[in-house]
Structure 1
Amino acid sequence: MATEKTNHHPRDVPCPNAEDISPCVCTVIDASDFDMEMDCSSVSSNTDLARIFSEHFPFNNFYSLIIYNNIHLRTIRAGDLGQISFKRIDIWSGNLQSVETNAFLHSYDTLEYLEISSNMLTAFPYSEISMFNHLTTLNLRSNQLGGIPTVASLTLQSLYLNNNPITGINPSSLPLLYTIGLSFTAITHIPTGTFSGLSRLTNIDLTNNKLEVLDPGTINLQTSYNWVYLTTNSITSIAEGALMGLRGSLYVQNNQLTELAEGVFRPLMDMDVTVYAESNPLACGCEIAWLVLNSVYVDQLMDDTTCFSGELVRNLDPDVYASLCH
């Protein structure tokens, strides 16, 4: 993604000499504090990149590095970026396969945002993340990262691993984590306690995975308002106690739930959770009477939630359930 600052003002000072760093381009993107952006989208090789960053730079502290749509770089090596530090690094839509440990060494005390998305990463130095003292966002969407990443950081607030063939995650060492993106992965199961003990966790996206069962203790949130996305999995069963601490919205559309079990969903609705449950084969027998007979609960069931028969849940006749379900 592009840098968030606007009002670009190209100029020579404080940038390096333009000819020395070509084909990279240095731009002052904020004239008030001389924030510099380095766009190296057109470099032809690691040798080219390393040569540029070995040139004379009057100032070493840059706001951002951009490498966009570059088909030549396969790795970022330690030393390729010389002595330069960045607050933000964006590398997207390329063929990058790996990042060496210490590749961003001189940004340990400055980097706040790191994105390497829509590349071909098969390896990433997760163990180095704890060395970045101000990093708040790590975005590694749309790569080829597998396994179960272990990420530790005292500052990280947003972690995006969407669209990677990872099989799990261990976020327990991320005390400030606010949002985690894990959609379109190869996750089939979430061990008990995976999303527990994270006092600031507010947004969990597990859309489009291969989940079938949610065990007790799968998610236990502590924030005052939160969102959990479980849309488009193959969930057939949610155990009581699997979804604790929800106080916002739960998305379970397009799964294989045959019932909205009272022991699971009634406690959520008692906490004013809004439930999105469209496109599930709900039987809508007496097991759903607890909901149909309470208009407040019916109002908390959103979207066009239907029974297996196609009838809208909100149109079910409560008199029928009052008469036949005891």
Structure 2
Amino acid sequence: MDCSNVVDLPELQQIFHANFPSTRYRRFTMFGTTEDPVPLTYLPDEIFGPISFQEIVIRYTKLQRIGTYAFMTSNSTLQTLVVTQSDLQSFPATILPEMSVLEDLDLSYNELSFLPDLCSTSLHDLDLAHNPDLSYTSLAFEQLPYIVNINLASCGMDKLEANLFLDKANLSTVYLEENQLTELVAGSLAFTGAAINEVILSGNKISTVEKSFASGLGTNTYLALLKNNITTLPEEVWRQVFEQLSLGQGSVLLDAFDPADNPLACGCDLAWLVTDPTLLVHLAEGATCADDTPVHDLDPQYYETNCT
């Protein structure tokens, strides 16, 4: 069912007051464009009447608010809910426990300022990217036991709470790129279950990384830190990360296409990594020193002789 051409709320309400041959439909869509968004600003409670859907996909609208019970007729059928490229300022998260089969929730590219703590035993994919002033509590994701993918890219984050992603045995990808993070404190990247596959932190301002910032990484984890301000990889902080990755095919990506990004000093504090090929292989090719020398081209013999 496509309602992309509705001009106002009364028209949409009139549509769903009609008699339908069935009350169960696969997909509802409402698509505008950047130049011509759908003019609706509000979806009230029971807007869909008795009709239920498996998917609701809404893009490029002027939606700012959604009623708490707007989607309740689909509480036992809705698997995918997408409201993106709109002006959404809040989301009725209290409906999530009632959405018993909802797996995919995409609220990206909106104007959400606060995310209530989420609770769902079915949700697998959560996309909140590009809500530029988003805030939430340290318990925001605590009650999402089966979450697989979380996207928090470009949300204006300036800090990352410890243990935010803990106790998520199925968590595979976490996207945190293009935020305003300056440090990774102990427990920032604490995971459970070793299912974690990708952690993307590129395009932040990270310069400080504390001991025990990461735990529970999988042996094949891809940890990307491009375009940050990391100047050193102290052994007491980073060895445990590289040792865990050395059990599989995981890697740490620090390539600096511009020497101003992650300008590694490459002094004796890097000797532990340069002189151990079993660990160095897990630093992705492309990482460079501040003088633009590739880390993989450094002479381990020099470090063994001069860094005792």
Quote the Cα distance in structure 2 between the aligned partners of 1:101 and 1:46: 17
Whole-angstrom distance in 1 between the partners of 2:224 and 2:236: 17
Contact 1:46–1:80 (8 Å) recurs in 2? no
Kindly provide the amino acid, as one letter, of the partner of residue 241 in structure 1: S
The answer to whether residue 245 in structure 2 is matched with residue 250 in structure 1 is no
Distance 2:88 2:183 in 1: 30
CA contact (8 A) 1:227 1:246 kept: no
Give 1:98 deviation, angstroms: 1.2
| 1:301 alignment counterpart | 283
1:131 is the counterpart of 2:98: yes
Q: Does 1:238 align with 2:209?
A: yes
Residue identity opposite 2:223 in structure 1: L
Aligned-partner Cα distance in 1 for 2:270–2:181 = 23
Deviation string, structure 1 residues 176-234 (Cα, Å, up to 9, x no partner): 01110000011111222211111111111100111111111122222345211111111
**Alignment root-mean-square deviation, CA:** 1.2
1:167 aligned partner: 135
Paired with 1:142 and 1:303, the residues of 2 have a C-alpha distance of 33
Rg larger for = 1
The answer to whether structure 1 residue 176 and structure 2 residue 146 are counterparts is yes
Identify the match of residue 268 of structure 1 among 232, 241, 252: 241
Q: Does structure 2 retain, via aligned residues, the 8 Å contact 1:168–1:190?
A: no
- State how far apart, in whole Å, the 1-side matches of 2:136 and 2:228 are: 20
Structure 1 Cα separation of the partners of residues 157 and 253 of structure 2: 22
Q: 1:19 aligns to what? A: none
Tell me, in whole angstroms, the C-alpha distance in 2 between the residues paired with 1:86 and 1:294. 56
Structure 1 residue aligned with 2:259: none
Query: 1:186-265 counterparts in 2 under 5 A?
Result: 186-221=156-191, 222-247=193-218, 248-265=221-238
TM-score (ref. length: structure 1) = 0.86
The Cα of 1:263 is off from its aligned counterpart by 2.3
Compute the displacement of 1:172 (Å). 0.4
In the alignment, structure 1 residue 286 sits paired with structure 2 residue 294: no
CA distance 1:122–1:224, shift in 2 (3 Å):
closer
2:61 alignment partner in structure 1: 94
The separation in 1 between residues aligned to 2:12 and 2:175, in whole angstroms, is 36
Q: Please state if 1:83 is matched with 2:50.
A: yes
User: Is contact 2:62–2:86 with CA below 8 Å preserved after alignment?
Assistant: yes
CA 1:274–1:255 in 2, change beyond 3 Å: closer, same or farther?
Answer: same
* Structure 1 residue ranges (4+ consecutive) displaced by more than 3 angstroms after TM superposition: none
Percent sequence identity over aligned pairs: 30
Higher alpha-carbon deviation: 71-80 or 313-322: 71-80
The residue that corresponds to 1:60 in the other structure is 23
Q: TM-score, normalised by structure 2?
A: 0.91
- What is residue 114 of structure 2 aligned with on the other side? 147
Name which of 286, 292, 313 aligns with 2:295. Answer: 313
Aligned twin of 1:35: none
Q: Quick one: distance in 1 between partners of 2:172 and 2:265?
A: 32
